[in-house]
Amino acid sequence: MEALPETLQRLKGKIAIITGGSRGIGRSTALALGMEGANVVVNYAKSSDAALEVIAEIVAAGGNGMALQADVSQMEEVDNFVKKVMEKWSRIDILVNNAGITRDKLLLRMKPEDWHSVIDLNLTGVFLCTRAVSKIMLKQKSGRIINVASVAGQTGNPGQANYSAAKAGVIGFTKTVAKELANRGITVNAVAPGFIATDMTKDLKNSEEIMKFIPLGRYGKPEEVAGMIKFLAADDAANYITGQVFNVDGGF
């Protein structure tokens, strides 16, 4: 990864947290914001080696950052995680709520633990991280929060009642919190990826059937979702955008 000239690093000196930043969309987002000069905090739950590799790549390109472990579905871990970031940099400018899991099963086969684990991480985790970080952004009177939702939260998807419910919740949460924080200069938006080539989609058995419903005829790339997140996090043109959902889905 080659660093951009310093004059083009729009996030120079900014602090950006990416939850679930060790792989997939989170990894691509961490690299994209690192290229813009941000100090990137890569949160991970278990993939420490992968998270450290992301940070190493950012540093090699002249950027800076650190990897921090935390289960974002647990309030104490989130609060401790945010405290460590503040101890190092004393501010937080960008939060990308990206951490997520799937536990796909048809409704009648879905166990309560399948439901709760997905809701806890994909929705409650967004609430906990946003609440913790927004306290800091309110004092700064600035900040950008980007939540990674999904087209599944807009259209539904068989076998994903838990995931679809969580992502629909993220969309509603985004629109509400955007209204609550706007008067302090904080924007809150969501990005809703379609079918993206990541670990979550590589084992889908109905891939050919899904492709029929994607006008562009292919799965998206993590970098293409990261591009939209980077726009919302870094571009001055995004200053007047809040409470919106941006689909990155190939026309799905």
Domain that holds residue 235: 12-248
Give kind and range of the element (H or E) at residue 158: none
* 3 has a pLDDT exceeding 60: no
- Known catalytic residue at 163: yes
Whole-number pLDDT of residue 1 = 60
Check the CA dihedral 234-238-239-242 and report its sign: negative
Domain-located, residue 131: yes
Total domain count, the chain? 1
Domain-located, residue 1: no
Whole-number pLDDT of residue 216 = 86
* Rg for the chain, CA atoms, rounded: 17
Domain-located, residue 199: yes
* 249 has a pLDDT exceeding 70: yes
Read off the pTM. Answer: 0.93
CA distance 110 to 103: 9
Domain-located, residue 133: yes
Whole-number pLDDT of residue 184 = 96
pLDDT band at 164 (very low <50, low <70, confident <90, very high): very high
Q: What is the mean pLDDT of residues 192-196?
A: 92
Span of 9-23, 53-67, 205-219, 229-243 with lowest mean pLDDT = 205-219
Domain-located, residue 196: yes
pLDDT band at 202 (very low <50, low <70, confident <90, very high): low
Domain-located, residue 94: yes
Q: CB of 81 within 8 A of CB of 71? A: no
Q: What is the CATH number of the domain that holds 83?
A: 3.40.50.720
Q: What is the mean pLDDT of the chain?
A: 93
**Closest listed residue to residue 133, CA positions, set 192, 191, 70:** 70
Percent of the chain with pLDDT over 70: 93
Beta strands 245-248 and 186-193: pairing type?
A: parallel
pLDDT band at 203 (very low <50, low <70, confident <90, very high): low
Q: What is the mean pLDDT of residues 116-122?
A: 98
* 196 has a pLDDT exceeding 80: yes
Strand (E) positions, the chain?
Answer: 15-18, 39-44, 64-69, 94-97, 143-148, 186-193, 245-248
* 7 has a pLDDT exceeding 60: no
Grouping H, G, I as helix, E, B as strand and the rest as coil, residue 147 is strand
Domain-located, residue 147: yes
Q: CB of 198 within 8 A of CB of 25? A: yes
Domain-located, residue 3: no
